[in-house]
Structure 1
Amino acid sequence: MTTTEPRADRFVRELAVLKIPDPAAARATLWLRLGVLLMAGGLALGVSGYLVSHNTVDPLVQGDGLALGLGGISATVVGSALFLRYSLTGFLRFWMARQSYDIDLLADRLLERDIHHDPTGNDAAPR
């Protein structure tokens, strides 16, 4: 299957046919930004909880500070997981589509080579 269409244009066309969602889609971008906000907010909560618990001698306020710090740590972990999930998802979808395209191209090359192959063992076409 030989075409005069450039390889990059063919790849973009086949991505459109496969209906692979754009990595910059609105919902994925929302979750990605939420993950970044949770990471930053969680760090701020953790630091403020540390400062609150260490700048007082009242055990009730120290307990509140510790709870605030643990909530900040939890928010940071959840935000990191969201950020990793949605940043890697877009990349891995594109990578898998690229792998599929490259394997298809390899199969086309192998089929062309088999067409030009002489079954008697005297190959006229170079490999």
Structure 2
Amino acid sequence: MHILYSCVCPKLVVLHDNMNDETTIHRPEQYHKLIVGTTFIAIYQPEDFEQRKAYYHAKRPTNYVFKIQIACDFHHRVVHVSKGYPGSEHNITILRESGLLEQTQEDVQIIADKGYIGEQYVIIPRKKPHGGN
């Protein structure tokens, strides 16, 4: 696990300046516990107009989807699967409504993509620079 923290985390996440300090109470390895993401399940186009609006998702080739949030720990164990949400639902809303935040201890940080910006316990991966690694 130490290799994961020393090699992968610095490339993926931006930490607060004082978190890398050895004197800080919560060093990075104490924070990074969960990885959260949303996946899509394609559905047929609903006949009802209101349902079409709710399940529409422009970034998917099928355009109509359910969204499901999945969380895993650094031991590759799935620790949370949300119920299905309409494709138009924002990731941060799914996180807030799923109950995962209430089940997570205060010292646990969640690594997620930019769709989850807005919660204090969520760390967003660094954006890859143009032409860089």
TM-score bin (small chain): under 0.3
Greater strand content: 2
Relative to the length of structure 2, the TM-score reads 0.26
**Higher Cα Rg: structure 1 or 2?**
1
Relative to the length of structure 1, the TM-score reads 0.27
